[in-house]
């Protein structure tokens, strides 16, 4: 509780009501009206979550996302205008963990925020996992290959953890959306696909020929202990 949230949104009304809603839900909210200000705020104070509008003046949401990702693994939720287009995928590819389309109902945003924060929580009770040179430490929230820290975002980490907990088990996208992203119904499977893509980019030697995270055609994904 009391996590610090950075809200970057240019419209004053949306900013105000979102702040109110998040505050009511128990978060501590800092706001910024544009991308540049948002980055300044971000570098000033540590935040637990960033809620980022895509269409921003000064510096657009994607650039902010990219910049933040260069320095941090903090969970990022995008506020996007429509889900139909490529916008969402671009944001996800840049490292956002989830997205909410406008207009949104407050409870929905709060649920996404809580889910993102839960992902970012370490689970010390969970056992270490080791598969070959891959080492996953749920308590330390780190994953490494050999001596290299994989530098995964919370979402990527949780995804890897979920898959690696049951090697050989095939997970459908729906299942992963539920387990990792907390979507009850009709989540966007692109969330899973892009996250797997990013994960492969960090974990695998050759993302095009993955050794660990395999695709099962027509079904979903599977972790191979190899």
Partner 1 sequence: MLAAGLSAAALAGSSYLVVREARLSDSVDRSLDQARFNLVLAGETLGTTPTAEEIALLLDAYERRGVFVTVGSTGQREFSSSLSVGARQVPSDLRRLVATGQLSYKRTEVADMRYLVVGGRVPERGTDLYYFFSEERLWDELAQLRNILLIGLLVLVLLAGLVGVLLARRTLVPVARASAAARSLAEGLLETRLPIERTDEFGAWAASFNEMAEALEAKITALSEAQARERRFTADVAHELRTPLTALVAEASMLAEQLERMPAEARRPAELLVADVRRLADLVEDLMEISRLEAGQTRLREEDVDLSSLVGAIVRSRRWDGRVRVDGGEVVLLSDPRRLERIVANLIGNALEHGGRDVAVRVGRDGIGAFVEVTDHGTGIRPEDLPHVFDRFYKTDPARATPGSGLGLAIALENARLLGGDIDVWSEVGTGTRFTLRLPVTKPLQGRGPDVSRHDDDEERQSEGEEP
Residues at the interface with partner 1 (CB under 8 A): 11, 13-14, 16-18, 20-21, 24, 81-86, 102-109, 166, 168-172, 174-175, 184-186, 188-189, 193, 207-210, 214-219, 222
- Between CA 175 and CA 123 the distance in angstroms is 20
Cα–Cα distance list, 76 to 92, 119, 120, 125, 168 (Å): 9, 12, 11, 26, 30
- Of 216 and 225, the one with the shorter C-beta distance to partner 1 is 216
Question: Smallest gap, in angstroms, from Cβ of residue 142 to partner 1?
Answer: 26
Least distance to partner 1, CB of residue 79, Å: 8
Cβ of residue 17: shortest distance to partner 1, in angstroms? 4
Closest CA to 199 of 116, 130, 143, 147: 143
Q: What's the half-sphere exposure (Cβ side, CA atoms, 13 Å) at 148?
A: 9
Opening angle at CA 59, ends 151 and 72, nearest 5? 15
How far apart are CB 35 and partner 1 at their closest, in Å?
Answer: 17
Q: 37 vs 193, which CB is nearer to partner 1?
A: 193
Q: What is the DSSP string of 125-188?
A: TSPPEEETTEEEETTTTEEEETTEE----HHHHHHHHHHHHSTT-EEEHHHHHHHTT---SS--
**Cβ at position 82, least distance to partner 1 in Å:** 8
Between 93 and 174, name the residue whose CB sits nearer to partner 1. 174
- Minimum distance, C-beta of residue 197 to partner 1, in the bound complex (Å): 9
Nearest residue (CB) to partner 1, 142 versus 172: 172
Looking only at the bridges linking them, the beta strands covering 28-32 and 4-8 are parallel
If you ran DSSP here, which 8-state letter would residue 5 be given? Answer: E
Nearer to partner 1, 143 or 163 (CB): 163
Min CB(72)–partner 1 separation in Å = 27
Query: In the chain, which ranges are E strands?
Result: 4-8, 28-32, 49-53, 76-80, 98-101, 129-131, 134-137, 142-145, 148-149, 170-172, 213-216, 220-223
Residue with smaller CB distance to partner 1, 137 or 156: 156
Name which of 20 and 40 has its Cβ closer to partner 1.
20
């Amino acid at each position: 509780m009391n996590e610090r949230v950075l809200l970057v949104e240019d419209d004053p009304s949306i900013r105000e009501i979102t702040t109110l809603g998040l505050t009511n839900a128990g978060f501590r909210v800092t706001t910024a009206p544009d991308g540049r200000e948002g980055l300044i705020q971000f570098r000033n104070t540590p935040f637990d979550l960033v809620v980022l509008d895509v269409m921003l003046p000064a510096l657009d949401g994607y650039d902010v996302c990219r910049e933040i990702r260069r320095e941090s693994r903090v969970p990022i939720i995008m506020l996007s205008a429509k889900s139909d287009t490529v916008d969402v995928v671009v944001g996800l590819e840049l490292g956002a963990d989830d997205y909410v389309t406008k207009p949104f109902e407050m409870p929905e945003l709060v649920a996404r925020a809580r889910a993102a924060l839960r992902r970012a929580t370490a689970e010390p009770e969970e056992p270490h996992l080791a598969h070959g040179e891959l080492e996953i430490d749920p308590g330390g929230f780190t994953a490494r290959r050999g001596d290299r820290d994989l530098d995964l975002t919370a979402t990527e980490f949780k995804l890897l953890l979920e898959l690696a907990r049951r090697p050989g088990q095939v997970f459908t996208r729906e299942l992963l959306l539920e387990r990792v992203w907390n979507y009850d119904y009709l989540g966007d499977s692109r969330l899973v696909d892009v996250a797997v893509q990013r994960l492969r980019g960090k974990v695998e030697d050759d993302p095009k020929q993955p050794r660990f995270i395999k695709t099962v055609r027509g079904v979903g994904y599977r972790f191979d202990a190899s």
